[in-house]
Each structure stands twice: as structure tokens, then as C-alpha cells.
Amino acid sequence: MAEQTNILEAVKTIVHEEVWPFRDEVKKDIANFKNEILTSNDKIAKKLDTIISELPAINHKQREHHDRIETLETKTRTIQARLGI
């Protein structure tokens, strides 16, 4: 019985001195890794927000260019028709 108690105490000591510090280190590593992921997600989200906020302006400018091209093509066809080209 005394021998079992000694073995149990030895196991408890090993767990306390070897396993628990390693466990705490792993917990810190996991927390750091999670923090890195969340930080990188924040950067991606910020870029997406920028893109999404700029899309209406880009689309508006594209429509203006499209309308301008159509107007110029119509004028060009009119001039070509008058000149017989």
C-alpha cells in the first residue's frame, strides 16, 4: 500500500512539474495562433469593406463612360452618314 502511495505521489509530482507547464504553454500558443487568425481576418474584412464601399462609385463612373461612348458612336455614325463614309 505504501508503495502504491509513493508511486501515486511520484506520478502526481511528474504531472504537476512536467505536464501542467506544457499544458499552459500549449494554451498560450493556441491563444496566440487564434489572435493571429483574428487579426488577419480583420485586415481582410477591412479590405473587403473598402472594395464594397468603392463599388458604387466605380459602377457609376463605368456607366458614365458607357453613355459617353454611346453618344460619341452615335455622333460618329451621323457624321459618317452625312459625309457618305
pLDDT (mean) for 61-74: 97
Residue 67 scores a pLDDT above 80: yes
pTM above 0.85, yes or no: no
Domain ranges, residue 65: 1-85
* Cα→Cα distances 39→44, 60, 81, Å: 9, 33, 62
Given a cut of 80, is residue 20 above it in pLDDT?
yes
Comparing 54 with 24, the larger pLDDT belongs to 54
Amino acid at 71: T
Q: 30-58, pLDDT tens digit by residue?
A: 999 999 999 999 989 999 999 999 999 99
CA distance linking residue 14 with residue 6, whole number of Å? 12
Mean pLDDT of 9-28: 85
Phi then psi dihedrals of residue 84, to 5 deg: 75, 30
What's the number of domains the chain is made of? 1
More confident residue, 51 or 8: 51
